[in-house]
């Protein structure tokens, strides 16, 4: 009896704090990481005990798994690992011997070390984690695995999430108002969250949001569709003018996020148009058929490599903005549109 009790106590104190987050909704992934950071890392030691790594190769990964806290409190190590799971440029693979060492080390990581493997997938992408991979099986066995898929306009979770966010911001939104917000803004949670912040400031001290408030205050994704059309046509002057106009009401990262979604969808439609009818494409993408036909008309004279290049430029612009590589946020975005 005593031995059993000691075993239970030992097991409880040796719970491995290992997580694996993956999916298209990076806003939710970042929110979960912030929760973990607030819960596990002493604010006095954030600089030393909160660490991020970008697709480390085997030797560095082993060092990460063995590293104890240098100061008081727990360490939270975030390991971005997209190149572990997808055949992208610079893909990183582990052989069986390395995988065995990774699994053995995971089971004896220091008590003060918490590790989150993060695999973000592009929005509108059909990519999925291959659960047959040995690395996934190791993580699934030892870690708390959570998927964060991109919600669709018809997802039941989306209005629930919006209502929750609104409540946290001391806003009141009826069900029909929430649905109207989705129709106007789409499903990008980062965009929706930012627009809720704008609504809170604009209607204060009123708390109840009306459809008229959304029309007057929130930048419609339709406005960004206009910018998308200018970029497709190669009308650089109008594209830059429209971008500058949008920036007066909307954060530039939000604009980039919607543009990336738009061009991902256009690329998908372009690919499917080779062997699918407009009806089949509409069914696959959950779009009205007439919208698909409009897109196909616009895409007739646009080669696939141009769509790919535009999206690549937008991704690069977002990276340069987020990393602070460019001092003025407009410049990298403008360069993305001009290329």
Concatenating the DSSP letter of every residue in 131-179 gives TTSHHHHHHHHHSEEEE-PPPPTT-THHHHHHHHHHHHTT-B--HHHHH
Residue 79, pLDDT > 60, answer yes
Torsion over CA of 25, 29, 35 and 40, rounded to 10 degrees? 170
Taking Cα atoms as reference points, which of 129, 110, 130 lies closest to residue 18? Answer: 110
Q: Which two tokens stand for residue 206?
A: 């009123």
Rounded-to-integer distance, Cα 136 and Cα 49, Å: 26
Q: Which residues contact 45 (CB under 8 A, 6 or more apart)?
A: 69, 71, 72, 73
pLDDT tens, 198-220? 899 999 999 999 999 998 888 66
The predicted structure's pLDDT at residue 253: 76
The answer to whether 144 touches 20, Cβ cutoff 8 Å, is: yes
Rounded-to-integer distance, Cα 16 and Cα 336, Å: 43
Query: What average pLDDT does this structure show over 32-53?
Result: 92
DSSP letters, 1-34, are: -HHHHHHHHHHHTT---EEEEEES-HHHHHHHHH
| Weakest-pLDDT range from 33-42, 104-113, 223-232, 248-257 | 248-257
The predicted structure's pLDDT at residue 127: 83
Rounded-to-integer distance, Cα 300 and Cα 89, Å: 30
DSSP 8-class letter at 71: S
The predicted structure's pLDDT at residue 296: 92
Residue 9, pLDDT > 60, answer no
Q: Which two tokens stand for residue 274?
A: 């080779």
Residue 322, pLDDT > 90, answer no
Distances (CA, A) of 207 to 78, 163, 211: 37, 13, 13
Other CB atoms within 10 A of residue 189 CB: 23
Q: Which two tokens stand for residue 107?
A: 């089971």
Per the model's pLDDT, the better-predicted residue between 188 and 200 turns out to be: 200
The predicted structure's pLDDT at residue 3: 39
| 33 — pLDDT class (breaks 50, 70, 90) | very high
Rounded-to-integer distance, Cα 331 and Cα 313, Å: 12
The predicted structure's pLDDT at residue 102: 97
């Amino acid at each position: 009896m005593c031995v059993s009790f000691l075993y239970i106590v030992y097991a409880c104190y040796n719970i491995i704090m290992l997580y694996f987050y993956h999916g298209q909704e990076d806003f939710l992934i970042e929110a979960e990481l912030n929760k973990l950071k607030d819960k596990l890392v002493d604010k006095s030691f954030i600089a030393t005990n909160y660490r991020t790594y970008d697709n480390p190769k085997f030797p560095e990964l082993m060092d990460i798994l063995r590293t104890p806290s240098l100061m008081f409190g727990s360490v939270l190590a975030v390991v971005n690992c997209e190149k572990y799971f997808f055949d992208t440029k610079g893909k990183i693979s582990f052989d069986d011997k390395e995988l065995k060492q990774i699994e053995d080390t995971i089971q004896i990581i220091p008590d003060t070390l918490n590790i989150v493997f993060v695999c973000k997938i592009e929005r509108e992408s059909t990519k999925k984690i291959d659960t047959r991979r040995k690395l996934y099986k190791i993580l699934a066995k030892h870690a708390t695995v959570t998927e964060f898929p991109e919600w669709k306009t018809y997802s039941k979770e989306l209005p629930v999430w919006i209502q929750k966010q609104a409540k946290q911001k001391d806003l009141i939104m009826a069900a029909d108002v929430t649905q109207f917000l989705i129709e106007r803004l789409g499903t990008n949670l980062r965009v929706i969250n930012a627009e809720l912040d704008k609504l809170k400031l604009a209607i204060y001290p009123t708390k109840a949001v009306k459809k008229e408030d959304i029309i007057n205050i929130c930048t419609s994704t339709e406005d960004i569709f206009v910018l998308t059309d200018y970029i497709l046509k190669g009308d650089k002057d109008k594209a830059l003018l429209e971008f500058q106009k949008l920036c007066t009401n909307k954060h530039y990262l939000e604009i980039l996020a919607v543009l990336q979604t738009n061009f991902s969808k256009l690329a998908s439609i372009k690919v499917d148009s080779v062997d699918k009818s407009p009806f089949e494409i509409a069914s696959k993408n959950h779009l009205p058929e007439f919208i698909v036909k409009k897109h196909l008309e616009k895409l007739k004279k646009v080669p696939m490599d141009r769509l790919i290049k535009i999206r690549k430029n937008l991704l690069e612009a977002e990276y340069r903005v987020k990393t602070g590589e460019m001092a003025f946020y407009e410049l990298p975005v403008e360069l993305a549109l001009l290329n």
